[in-house]
Amino acid sequence: MERVITRMGFIMIIVGLIGLSNTAFAQQGTDQEYNDLFDDVSNYIPIYEDDLGDNYWGLYYYVEEYMVLNSTLNDNDWWSAFLHETVHVIQDCKNITEELTIFDTNTFQTSIEASDPDGFSEISWFALGYDDEYYDVEFEAEYIARFSNISYIQSLFDLHCKG
C-alpha cells in the first residue's frame, strides 16, 4: 500500500495515543480500497508524517484540520493509525466538537458491549488512557478503526465529508 504524505503542521488538539497496546488490524479490504480512502482523505485535509516518538501513532488537529501520522511505524500500524485518525476527521465533518461522537454514545457503546464484550473491554481499556472528556470520542474512533471493514469507513467518510 503506497503512502503519500505532504508536510508537517503545528498545534495538537486530539492525539491518537494508540501505543498502549498492540492494535489488531482487523479491517478487511484491498490495497485499492485503502489507497482510495487515503486519496479521499488527503484531498479533504492535509496529511503529514513526522517522528512522533514511541507513544503517539497519530494526531488529528480539529481547529487547523490536518492529520499527522508517525513516520516510524511499520505499515500495518501506520494504516491502523490512519484509520483511527480518519474517524476523527469524520467526527469533525459532522460539524461537532472533539467532545462528541458520530453515533449516539450510549446506544453505540451499549450495543457493542452486548454484541462484542471482548472488543468492548479491549477498547474501553484503550480509551481509559485519555482524559474523561475524550473517552467517548476515542472509544468510537478506536472501535470503528479496529473492527470495521474499509468500505464501512469509506461510506462514513463519503456520507459525512463528501456529502
Whether this model's pTM surpasses 0.85: no
Give pLDDT, residue 20: 30
Using 50 as the pLDDT threshold, list the residues of the chain that sit under it: 1-26
Q: Is residue 6 part of a domain?
A: no
Give strand pairing partners of 48: 68
The one-character DSSP state at 21 is S
The one-character DSSP state at 130 is S
Q: Is residue 141 part of a domain?
A: yes
Q: Is residue 134 part of a domain?
A: yes
Give pLDDT, residue 54: 84
For residue range 12-40, list pLDDT tens digits in order. Answer: 222 333 333 334 444 578 889 999 999 99
Give pLDDT, residue 99: 62
Radius of gyration of the chain (CA): 14
Give pLDDT, residue 96: 66
Give pLDDT, residue 88: 94
Report the chain's mean pLDDT, rounded to a whole number: 81
Q: Determine the structural domain holding residue 34 and report its residue range.
A: 14-162
Sign of CA dihedral 44, 83, 56, 53: negative
Give pLDDT, residue 18: 31
Number of domains in the chain: 1
Give pLDDT, residue 60: 94
Q: Which amino acid is at 15?
A: V
Q: Is residue 3 part of a domain?
A: no
Q: Is residue 34 part of a domain?
A: yes
Q: Is residue 5 part of a domain?
A: no
Give pLDDT, residue 11: 24
Q: Is residue 31 part of a domain?
A: yes
Q: Is residue 111 part of a domain?
A: yes
| Residues 160, 93: Cα–Cα separation, whole Å | 6
| Residues 111, 105: Cα–Cα separation, whole Å | 10
Give pLDDT, residue 133: 86
